[in-house]
Amino acid sequence: MPKIYRLAVGLFFSEYLQRNIFHASGADLPIGEPEKILNDYVCRDQYFTGATVKASVEHACKFMHTTKRDVIFPALLEEYTALGRDSGTLLTWPLTYENRVYKYGTKGKIRAIFNIECELVGVIIRHESHVQACFELSHDENDQIDEETSLVSQKYVGYKCPLAAFSLSYVRDSFHKALLPSVSYFPKPYLTGTFSRLGDDEPLVWPLFSDHILSPNGRNADINQRYFVVFSRKEGILKIIQIHMGVEQKCEYIRKTIVPFISRLNDPESPQSIEELNDSGRDCSGQIFTGRFIEMNRKKAMIAIADKIRGNNAITISRARRGKGVQFRSWIWPIRGWETYRKGPTSNMSYALIFGPKLQFLDVYVLRKSGFTKCNKINDSKRAVNEIQDTGIDLNVPAFCDGYDGFERDC
């Protein structure tokens, strides 16, 4: 093995050992320590368990650095602060429910947010003009909020149904609506369940929405699924029920602590280092990548390639062929998947970090069928930030899809 190649491999393994021994991820639990129970999330009227969110992130991470052209690549968020802090480089993936993309029920797209190490950061609803952070609910009622954050512990109180969730205030709004005189719609007698009292205080049932909408999902709703508040005029709210395919289920009353967004610790990084990384951003045919995102991917790629050399094939890493614009057998580390034109069925381009055959980092390149094209450096950090703001929060949208808020793979 040539001396320079041994030196390069040594540098790779040095960074690999430093990263895995001295900066181990919290995801690797010590032997004998039980796995931490995951927190659940409430996104307006939708309830997602921690297991559902985790499964969505794990599914997305399978495609984070793939070179396959027939898969969706996780969308990229840069310097995202809607979770209450400078979260650095983040990616986003549509939240799934029972192996289906969950895009109905709440206006906007519900997405899991995670970093390039596949660590969950939060869940959001992405609307056309803004994003809305979902509530993270602590699984441990004995959790104590860090006093240094100076935040008062807040509670989420409401009802958890099998396929939805409703805050107590929302339930009360529906209940108060039911008590108002109406000429078109009246509460109906509650004829099912365990209640048997009749007379002046017989149980009544009312749709669980203050605007009288029978389903939270509107035109996309399952017409066989309904939510109701059961009450009596003397005792008030008795219970919340879901009726699906004629079968009644009682919704669970919940009272959980809301985890403050700011309680998640930031990565220790000085303003000077952030500015220096932004200075090393790249403009790839209109697709902007900040130096911070590039550097985080470079470190991750070095560890993955070191694993590959040692025979650990956890992540497939492609090598460049001849006549493609870079050295033969250079290492290819994708940082954004293949784009397609809106009306074209053929994949057009992707973006990747390229490492030379001797493991030296070359640059960021645009990958096309014809070969590799080196991206242009952005030496002005202000320009990089402005470019990001111009493209919106989701930098995974190709330049030719500007203004198009589609959900499909091409835009």
pLDDT of residue 208: 76
pTM: 0.62
Among positive and negative, which fits the CA dihedral 80, 81, 87, 93? Answer: negative
Given a contact cutoff of 8 angstroms between Cβ atoms, the answer to whether 170 and 237 are in contact is no
Packed helices 3-17 and 291-309: angle between N→C axes, nearest 10 degrees = 110
| Distance, CA of 235 to CA of 123 (rounded, Å) | 37
Strand partners, 123: 112
Which CATH superfamily hosts domain 38-151? Answer: Microbial ribonucleases (3.10.450.30)
Token digits for 50? 């921690």
| Distance, CA of 167 to CA of 152 (rounded, Å) | 19
Please, where are the H alpha helices in 49-193? 50-61, 168-179
Q: Among 410, 403, 408, 355, which Cα is nearest to 101's?
A: 408
pLDDT of residue 353: 93
Token digits for 325? 């614009």
Please name the residue that has the structure tokens 């025979």. 311
How distant, in Å, are the alpha carbons of 53, 109, 143, 198 from that of 123?
A: 8, 10, 20, 46
Query: Per residue of the chain (411 residues), what is the pLDDT tens digit?
Result: 555 445 454 544 444 434 433 332 223 333 444 456 789 998 877 888 888 889 888 888 877 777 666 666 677 664 455 555 555 567 888 876 544 444 444 455 788 888 877 888 888 887 777 778 888 998 765 544 443 333 446 888 999 987 778 889 888 888 888 887 764 566 677 665 444 444 566 888 888 764 434 444 444 344 445 788 899 888 899 999 988 777 888 999 999 998 876 545 444 444 444 455 555 788 887 777 878 788 888 988 888 888 888 887 767 788 888 767 888 889 999 887 655 444 444 557 788 999 998 889 999 998 888 889 999 988 654 444 454 444 333 334 333 334 434 333 333
pLDDT of residue 410: 36
As its CATH architecture, domain 271-401 has Roll (3.10)
pLDDT of residue 362: 92
Ordered DSSP codes for 252-302: EEEEEEEPPGGGSPPP---HHHHHHHHHTEEEETTEEE-HHHHHHHHHHHH
Token digits for 22? 């001295």
